[in-house]
Chain A
Amino acid sequence: MTSASRHAGTADRAAEVWWFDTRAVTLGPADLVDLDPQEAARAAAFVFPADRHRYQVAHVMLRRVLAGCLGAEPGRLAFGRRRCPACGGPSGKPVLDGLPPGESTRGGLSFSLAHSGDAVAITVARGPVGIDVERAATGCVCSLASAMHPEDAALAGALPEPERHAAIIRWWVRMEAALKCAGTGIAHGMDAFPVLGTGCSVAALPAPGGYQAALAFPGLPGSLAAGIGGG
C-alpha cells in the first residue's frame, strides 16, 4: 500500500484519513474477489477503463481500511445505506451493515469515502464524519455560484479572479463534506443554508497537489475557518 499516506484528523476530533493514488495501485483478480456482487456489477458497467479502475481502487481500499480497523476479513464486510434524514428515502449515508438493531455503527465506527481524478480519500472516525475531495476544475466553475446559498455566493463573488475559482471549489468540498456527514448528500440542493449553517464543523484537509479536500464532523464550528473565506 505504498500509495497510502495517513494524516491525523483535526486537533480536537479523532479521525484518520487514508489517501490513495489510483495510478500507483494495480489490482489483480486476487484483489477484486473482495468486492461483493453489487460492487462487481457496478465496476463492470463503466464505459471507460480509468473510471472502472478508480471505482475498484476506492472500494477495495475501503474494505481493507475498515477490515484493518475492525479486525475483520475485507471480503466479509457488508454495506448498506441509512435512510436519508431529509426525505426518508433509501439513499442516505453508506454504513456497515449487519448490525444489531438500534446500533447505527459498529462500535461507533463511521466512515466516509471520496474520489476525484486520481485521488481516493477514506476517513474513519468514532462518530459521524464526512469527507470530500475535488480535483481543480479544468474550466470555469463560476456557474456554481447559482447553486450556492446567497451568503456563500456573496462571499465568493467579493473575491477577484482567480481567487474566486479556488474559493468556489473550497466551498464545494466543505459543503459536500458537511452534507455527507449529515447523511443527506447533495441531492437535496446545496443552497438551503450557508456552509456555516450546516451544523457541522468543517476543516480543510491537506490534499495532494491540484486537489482540495475537507473533513466534516457534527457540531458547531470552532472558528470562521470553517466558512469559505479561510484557507
Chain B
Amino acid sequence: MTSAPPRLVKCVVWDIDNTLLDGVYLESAAAPPAANQAMAAMLAGLASRGILHAIASKNPPQAAEHAAKVTGAQFAAVECGWGAKSDALARIAADLSIGTDALAFVDDDPYERAEVGAALPEVLVLAPEEAAEAPGWPEFGAAAVTDEARRRGEMYAARRRRQAAERAFGGSREEFLASAGTQVTIAPAGDQDVPRLHELSARTRQFNSAGQVAGEAEFASWIAAPHTEVVTVRLRDAFGDDGIVGACVTSHEPEGTWTVRLLAMSCRAMGRGVIGGLLAWLIRSAAGAGAREVAVPCVLNERNVPLRVALTGAGFRAGTGPGQGAAAAGAVFRRGTGAALPELPSWLRAPGGPDEPIAAELRQMLARITGRDEMAGLPADAPLFGAGVSLDSLTGTLLLREVQRRFGVDVAGTDLNLDALATLGTLASFIAGHGGS
C-alpha cells in the first residue's frame, strides 16, 4: 500500500445563472442566455476524467434543461427549487450514493457559497473564476485512462432509468434484478485491467476493505504473484453496461486460509446483488479448494459500514487477528467453510463452474480468430450466431475446426441441428458433455 487516499471530487454541483449561463435565465426566458464558454469547456474536460456533474439552482426545471442543451453536458442529478442549496447538495449526494465530501460546488453568488460552506464544510466550494483553474488541483484527479471513467456520466444516466423502472416494478428486488437481465461476471484480472483496478482502489470508500490506495505496480505484482488471485467483477443489465465495478485480491495461504487482501466495489453496484454474489463465490471457491476459512482484514472507518454490513450478512464475524497491531484500526472478518455454503445467484458468471475453463478458452479462441479483444469478455449467454455477436460463416467454421482440434469434439458432426452453438455457454457445456477438457 503506497499512500493515503487523497480527497477526490466525484461530482461538481453547478449553479445556473451567471455560472453555467452568461446571464440570468428568468430575466430572458424568451431568448435564454447562451452557455458560458469557459464553464462549458470545463464541464467536458471534467466529464472526460469521469467526474459527474449536477445542478443545484433556484430556477424552474426548464432552466436545467436549457443549461444541459447549451453546454452539451450530461447532468447526473438536478435539484431545482427554492430551498437551501446545502439541502440540495445533500440530496444529490444521497441520490448518487456518494459522500458530501466528494462534492464540489460552483456558484457566482457569495451568499450561496457561504451557506453551503457553513452547512457542509467538507464540500469544496468555488467561485466560477476559481473553478476555471481547479482542474489542475489534485482533488480533480488525473485524466481518465479507463473506459469506465470516461463513460461514468452515461452509466449514471442508465442508473436513473433503472431506478425509475424499479419504482414501477411490482415484484421483489431479486425478481427485478432478474427481469432487468442483470449479469455479474467474475473473471481473472489481466495486465490490461490494472489501471481500472487501481482506480477502484483509489475511488471507492463504502465497499473498500483497505485503508490505503494500492498502486498500479502493486496490482501488477499481485497478478503475477503465486498463490494470489486477482479478479474483476463486471456488471451489466438491460439498462446499461457498468463495466468493471469491483476488484478482489485473495492470497491462498498454505495453512488453509484464504485471505482477502483487498476488496473494492463501486457504489454503482450497491443494491444490485453484486457484493453478495462476490462473497458467495469466494466462500464456495475456498470450500472447493479445501480451504478452512475465508478471512477479510478490514479497516474500521465510518465510510465502509456498508461493506461490513455485507460481510456480516454473508456469515462473516469480526475479531482481531494475527498481524493486526494496535496501530491498525481494523478487524478481521472470518467465515468458516464448514457451515452451509451460500447459493450463487443465477445471474452470476464466475470461474469454478465445470464448463468455465472451456468457456474461457473459447473466448480466447474467438478473440484470436476474429482479431477482436472484446470477445475475451463475452457473456456466456450471448448468442454466437444470428444476433448476439453474429459470427459470420467463415469465423464460425474456423471456431468449430479449432474446437475439434483442441478438444477433440466434432460439434457439427455430432449435433446437426447445431443447438450447441446457440451461446458460448451451451457450446462449452456441449464440449464438456462430450468428453472435451
**Is B392 part of the contact surface with A, judged by Cβ < 8 Å?**
yes
In the bound complex, residues from chain A placing their C-beta under 8 Å from that of B83 are none
Given A55-B390, A143-B405, A138 and B371 contact (CB-CB distance below 8 Å): yes
B315 contacts A by Cβ under 8 Å? no
Please tell me which one of the listed residues A48, A115, A169, A176 contacts residue B389 in the complex, with CB atoms under 8 A apart.
Answer: A48
Residue on A nearest B369 in the bound complex, by CB = A139
* Interface flag for A144 (CB, 8 Å): yes
Contact between chains at A138 and B368 (CB < 8 Å): yes
Is there an interface contact between A51 and B389, defined as CB atoms closer than 8 Å?
Answer: yes
Interface contact B382-A147, CB-CB below 8 Å? no
A220 within 8 A of B: no
B388 contacts the other chain (CB 8 A): yes
B236 (CB) vs chain A CBs: closest residue: A47
Nearest residue in A to B375 (C-beta to C-beta)? A48
Tell me the bound Cα distance from A171 to B398 in angstroms: 14
Q: Which residues of A contact B412 (CB under 8 A)?
A: 189
Q: How far is the CA of A1 from the CA of B378 in the complex (A)?
A: 33
Is A172 an interface residue when CB atoms closer than 8 A count as contact?
A: yes
Q: Are B369 and A137 in touch, CB under 8 angstroms?
A: yes
Cβ of B378: which chain A residues have Cβ within 8 Å of it?
47
CA distance A146 to B401 in the complex (A): 8
Whether B195 sits at the interface, judged by CB under 8 Å, is no
Contacting residues, chain B, for A137 (C-beta < 8 A): 369, 394, 398
A24 within 8 A of B: no
Residues of A within 8 A of B368 (CB): 138-139
Distance (whole angstroms) from the CB of A181 to the closest CB of chain B: 15
Known: A47-B378, A147-B397. A138 touches B370 (CB 8 A): yes
Which residue of chain B lies nearest to A173 when distances are taken between CB atoms in the complex?
A: B394
B 397-437 binary contact with A (CB < 8 Å = 1; else 0): 11001101100000010000010000000000000000000
Q: Which residues of A contact B397 (CB under 8 A)?
A: 144, 147, 186, 190
Residues of B contacting A139 in the complex (Cβ-Cβ under 8 angstroms): 368-369, 371, 398
A147 contacts which chain B residues (CB < 8 A)?
397, 401
Return the chain A residue nearest B374 by Cβ.
A48
* A132 to B425 alpha-carbon distance, docked (Å): 29
Inter-subunit contact A144/B387 (CB<8 Å): no
* Chain A, 30-56, CB within 8 A of any chain B CB: 41-48, 51, 54-55
> 1/0 per residue B343-386: CB within 8 Å of A?
00000000000000000000000001111101000110011001
Of the residues B383, B387, B398, B418, contact of A143 by C-beta under 8 Å: B398
Query: Contact at B389–A138, with CB atoms within 8 Å?
Result: no
- With A45-B387, A48-B389, A144-B401 in contact, do A134 and B394 touch (Cβ < 8 Å)? yes
Whether B392 and A116, one on each chain, are in contact in the complex, defined by CB atoms closer than 8 angstroms, is yes
CA distance A51 to B375 in the complex (A): 12
CB-nearest residue of chain A relative to B382? A47
A190 CB contacts on chain B under 8 angstroms: 397
B2 at the interface (CB under 8 A from A): no
A157-B119 Cα distance, complex, nearest whole Å: 80
- Whether B394 contacts A47 by the Cβ 8 Å rule is no
Q: Which residues of B contact A (CB under 8 A)?
A: 368-372, 374, 378-379, 382-383, 386-390, 392-394, 397-398, 401-402, 404-405, 412, 418
**Given A46-B389, A138-B370, A144-B394, 13 additional A-B pairs, CB 8 A:** A42-B386, A43-B387, A44-B387, A51-B389, A55-B390, A115-B392, A134-B394, A137-B369, A137-B394, A143-B404, A147-B397, A169-B394, A176-B394
